[in-house]
Structures are given as structure tokens and as C-alpha cells.
Amino acid sequence: MNTKYLQFLPLLSFLFLWEILSRTLLNPLIIPPPSVVFKTLAIILIGNHPVYFLPLDFLYSLYHYVTGFGVAILLGIPLGMVIGWFRSADRFSYPLIELIRPIPPIAWIPIAIAILKLTHEAAAFVIFIGSFWPILLNTHFGVKSVERTWIDAALTLGVNSNGTMFRKVIFPASLPAIFTGIRVGSGVSWMCVVAAEMFGVSNYGMGYKLDFARGFSPDVVISYMIAIGIVGFALDRIYRYGEKRYLKWRG
């Protein structure tokens, strides 16, 4: 057997065990078997369900994700490079960062709703909070980890401004850590999408529909859980592809 197919063995074993347990030891009305769940998933995917339409909910969730995560990237990478390069900025920002960073993103939901009401912007704000810190701190770590010999070599070759140093040396050398921050931040961001949407920022979204179905449609709940996992996996694969493409020199 080709070894590349062995990676699917744990997943197939899990589905088989789930099917058996659901039909023997568990209550199928509470934990439906995968044969029922995947049938429901197909129905809400093609739009044959009167209430749930997964593609539309996915687009709403993707909008929330792109808005919040995009702002986190635009702010997190430049700020991380600044506090990583300038020692005074690092010392000045450290107390504030370590005071705010441990606060869970969910704890910001009441503040987001109070300021932005039940809007898409409120969801984006919670997503931004969740993904900003991994990007900022990994970028900061990447800048701090740049080899001193590379900086000395650049100075010797005539680099005499911070802008050129950032563009030619610091940013390229920090890219591995930046991509790590983006991948970690993406995972946290996608989890925050679900948490934010459960509070009803709109009438659509994968998190909102998951919460809407929790009391009476466990097959729909698990279908949305599977869809959320698949999308999260696909997003990580996209960032891994970008990492391999732009960091070929690491090989």
C-alpha cells in the first residue's frame, strides 16, 4: 500500500468507530452516526433544506474572517517589526502588550457589541483581537532572531537607513516567523468567527447557524462543525503553500 494513503487511516477508523458507537451505545438522536450526518451535510450544501444553506453561511463567515484577520495582518506585521527592531519601542510596549494579551477574545464580545452593536464590524473586531497577538509576537520574535552577521554585512555593504535595512534584510529574514504567526493567527481567527457569530451579529454565518440548530437538529450541528473544520484545514493549506513558495531558500 502506498504510504501516502496511510494518513487517511486514523480518519476512517474514527468514522467507523463513530458509526458503531452511535448505533449501539449512544443515543442516535443526540449523536447521529456519520451516515446520517453526511447525508444532512449534502442536503444543506446543495440548498435542499428549507432553513439551512451552507454556501451562503460560508460566505458570511468568510467575510467576517477576511475583515478581522486582514486588519490583524496589516497592523500586526508592521508593529511587530517596529517593536522588534527598536529597543525603546519594545520596552515601552511590553507592559501594555502583556496586560492586554492574556484577555480571551470572547471576553471582548460585550465590549464589541456595546460599541459596534450587533453588526459585521463587531464580529470582525473580535476576530481581529484573537489573531492580532500571534502575528505581532511572532513577527517580533522573527526580527529579534535575525542573525547579527547579516546586519553587519549589510552595514558593511553600505546600507545606512532603517528603511533599506528593513526591506533588504530584516523583513526577508523574519518571513519564517511571520508565516508561523499568520498560520497560528488564522486558526485562532477562524475559531473566533464561530464564537462571534454565535452572539447573533447577523442572521447568517456558520457559527450563527450552528448555535441556531443546537437544540433540535444535532445532525445539522455536526454538519456545520465538519464544514468549519474543513474550511479551517483548507485555509491552513493555503498559507502552507505560500510559505513553501516564498521561503524556498530555507530548503
The string of DSSP letters for 82-149 reads HHHH-HHHHHHHHHHHHHHTTS-GGGGHHHHHHHH-SSHHHHHHHHHHHHHHHHHHHHHHHHHTS-HH
Please give the pLDDT value at position 148: 82
Mean pLDDT lowest among 34-38, 93-97, 212-216: 212-216
Is position 167 within any domain? Answer: yes
Is position 122 within any domain? Answer: yes
Is position 21 within any domain? Answer: no
How open is the CA angle 229-52-226, to the nearest 5 degrees? 15
CATH number at residue 74: 1.10.3720.10
What domain range includes position 116? 52-250
Count up the domains in the chain and report the number. 1
- Positive or negative torsion for Cα 18, 20, 24, 25: negative
Please give the pLDDT value at position 250: 65
Is position 26 within any domain? Answer: no
Distance CA 198, CA 216 (A): 16
Cβ neighbours of residue 179 under 8 Å, at least 6 residues apart? Answer: 239, 242, 243, 246, 247
> For residues 182-200, b (16+ Cβ closer than 10 Å) or e, as one string?
bbbbbbbbbbbbbbbbbbb
Is position 159 within any domain? Answer: yes
Is position 58 within any domain? Answer: yes
pLDDT one-digit tens code per residue, 120-172: 888 899 999 999 999 999 999 998 888 888 888 888 877 777 778 888 888 88
Is position 19 within any domain? Answer: no
Q: How many CB atoms lie within 10 A of CB 220?
A: 24
Residue 89, amino acid = A
The stretch 196-220 carries a mean pLDDT of 83
- The torsion angles phi and psi of 225, rounded to 5 degrees, stand at -60, -45
pTM: 0.86
Is position 97 within any domain? Answer: yes
Please give the pLDDT value at position 47: 82
Please give the pLDDT value at position 62: 93
Residue 3 — pLDDT band, cuts 50, 70, 90? low
